[in-house]
Chain A
Amino acid sequence: MTDLSELYQQVILDHNRSPRNFKRIESANRKAEGNNPLCGDRIQLYVQLDGETISDIGFQMPQGAGCAISKASASLMTEAVKGKPAADAEAMFQAFRDMLAGGNNAPGKLAAFSGVRAFPSRIKCANLAWHALHAALQNSGDPVTTESARDF
């Protein structure tokens, strides 16, 4: 039995309570929306992409529309990718996905989400922001939903 404290690690509770980069960036040149229609979680992601670099990133979740896992994941993601090349962000997304699918831990603070592996019903929550980031970087424009991506 996995202890709850492995899912709700202190760093996750902290980022849920005080999300970083929790801001709207009206001037952002890349935007994406992520939806989890099953639970109603919604994220709006703003990315300022200058050349290949993510020079700024912010996210918003409507009041009550983000659980601790999805909000903390979005917050930690923005910290991890800010200032990094888009290719590095995509690589982190891959590492994050691999971790949740049972693979090795993702680098740095992202490893805090390794506990989600034991809670299959919450994997989509952890992945939501990353899928939105992927869509923003691809500049697809369409809202992403957890029901359209097979590996959510």
Chain B
Amino acid sequence: MLDTAKLRADFPILARQENGRRLVYLDNAATSQKPRKVIDALVHYYSFHNANVHRGAYALAVEATDAYEAARTAVARFVNAWAREAVVFTRGTTESINLVAASWGRTHVSRGDTVVVTAMDHHSNIVPWQILCQEKGATLRMVEITKDGRIDLIDFGRALENKPKIVAFPYVSNSLGTVNPTAQLSKLSHAAGAVTVVDGAQATPHLRVDVQALDCDFYALSGHKMLGPMGSGALIAKPALLEEMPPYHGGGEMIERVYDDRSTWNRIPHKFEGGTPNVEAAVGLSAAIAYLEKLGMDKVAAHEQELARIAIERLSQIEGVTIYGSRDHRAGVVPFTYGDIHPHDLATILDRDGVCIRAGHHCTQPLMRRLGVAATARASFYIYNDVDDVDALVSAVRKAGELFGVLAS
């Protein structure tokens, strides 16, 4: 496991006391905390290099541009993108998916076509496709999940028989932690003639990602879940697709030439980056990637999976606790319920002990309906969590049981 005692010192917020106890931050699937290196990178950028990018004729602007483009190189390397030009900076996964829906989707999807999503997708990988399908008169097909929380491959195969234009699914489920067989799903989708849109929000922070090996067409990620700043993110796409796609936002920077009545477009990826970009976010994301690369993503994955394994083992010993999701192929996400205690009450009780978890539908209402629950409690781990955090979680859950006189359901 990772040397958490050493790592924790890198995260200023972890020194915070919560009701006299150490902060036990277990809501990493929502957002991660930031190491000092990332915070310092933001301060350093504004203190020494700030200027607008891609247009200045002076040294400072060149430095800002270099920092921004170096971040693009870092992202490309981190996910083994096809090329630097394959990386479009966005505000995060949601914007990345909306970009694909609005640009590739509007161009290629028409009346009678099918778009496939899964029942375990986050709303951000469902709603943009619903909007597109409603606009175009296309059909949205939701693939079912199995009882143990995986994509139902039989239903997936049936959905492909409709020859969908787009197949969208998560690499890792934010609600269940399931790691989906993304390369296999991409291969099947391609054989059916579809392009694949992979929601990588929960995978990129936690696994070694290789988009070329996955052979997906579009891959969306959020920087804030992987130690980077809020508002950082990227769409990674096959360059040939980006080349033929129309722009998403019109404005400065994305043009080649503006005539009175029309314009021509800049090269990729700039064609998709209209307006002044969030340079600060890119610079911070670059620092986050450097931090993760130093740790090694295989070690990161192993660390979280071990914590999840211990958490599942110890929570399961409490009578009345139900754990959701598959036994294996799981990232560091542990969704659970406890008897008839509503997850929000659990979260409030845990918070008193400084334990931060998420309670609710986790932006996956279709999944919650299939699990037959209105909400779950979710603990999600990251590099700075340790076995003490698991113990704090388990003991606070037991305390909730005592307070409520839990009835096992």
Which A residues fall within an 8 A CB radius of B? 1, 4-5, 7-8, 13, 17, 38-42, 62-69, 119, 121-122, 125
Q: Supply 8 A–B pairs (Cβ within 8 Å), ascending by A.
A: A8-B403, A40-B374, A62-B374, A64-B342, A67-B342, A122-B344, A122-B348, A125-B344
Q: Would A69 and B345 count as touching, CB distance under 8 A? A: yes
Cβ of B183: which chain A residues have Cβ within 8 Å of it? none
Known: A4-B403, A40-B374. A67 touches B20 (CB 8 A): no
**Interface membership of chain B positions 356-377, coded 1 if the CB is closer than 8 angstroms to chain A and 0 otherwise:** 0001110001001000011100
Q: Would A67 and B344 count as touching, CB distance under 8 A? A: yes
Cβ of A64: which chain B residues have Cβ within 8 Å of it? 342, 373-375
Q: Would B342 and A4 count as touching, CB distance under 8 A? A: no
Q: In the complex, which of the residues B20, B365, B404 contacts A68, with contact meaning CB atoms closer than 8 Å?
A: B404
Bound CA–CA A39/B359 (angstroms): 8
Q: In whole Å, how far is A101's beta carbon from the nearest beta carbon of chain B? A: 19
Cβ of A7: which chain B residues have Cβ within 8 Å of it? 348
How many chain B residues sit at the interface, stated as a range, is 20 to 34
Bound CA–CA A66/B348 (angstroms): 14
Q: Please, which residue of chain A has its CB at the minimum distance from the CB of B337? A: A64
Q: Would B360 and A40 count as touching, CB distance under 8 A? A: yes
Q: Would A4 and B349 count as touching, CB distance under 8 A? A: yes
Bound CA–CA A64/B338 (angstroms): 11
Q: A40-B360, A69-B345 are in contact. List 19 more A-B contacts (CB 8 A).
A: A1-B352, A4-B349, A4-B403, A7-B348, A8-B349, A39-B344, A39-B361, A40-B361, A40-B375, A41-B344, A63-B374, A64-B342, A64-B373, A67-B342, A67-B344, A67-B345, A69-B344, A122-B344, A122-B348
Cβ of A42: which chain B residues have Cβ within 8 Å of it? 374
Bound CA–CA A62/B404 (angstroms): 20
Q: Would A4 and B352 count as touching, CB distance under 8 A? A: yes
Q: Would B342 and A66 count as touching, CB distance under 8 A? A: yes
Q: Would B349 and A38 count as touching, CB distance under 8 A? A: no
Cβ of A121: which chain B residues have Cβ within 8 Å of it? 348
Cβ of A13: which chain B residues have Cβ within 8 Å of it? 403-405
Q: Please, which residue of chain B has its CB at the minimum distance from the CB of A66? A: B342
Q: In whole Å, how far is B118's beta carbon from the nearest beta carbon of chain A? A: 20
Cβ of A40: which chain B residues have Cβ within 8 Å of it? 360-361, 365, 368, 374-375
Cβ of A69: which chain B residues have Cβ within 8 Å of it? 344-345
Bound CA–CA A125/B352 (angstroms): 18
Bound CA–CA A94/B19 (angstroms): 32
Q: In whole Å, how far is B340's beta carbon from the nearest beta carbon of chain A? A: 8
Q: Would B345 and A38 count as touching, CB distance under 8 A? A: no
Cβ of B405: which chain A residues have Cβ within 8 Å of it? 13, 17
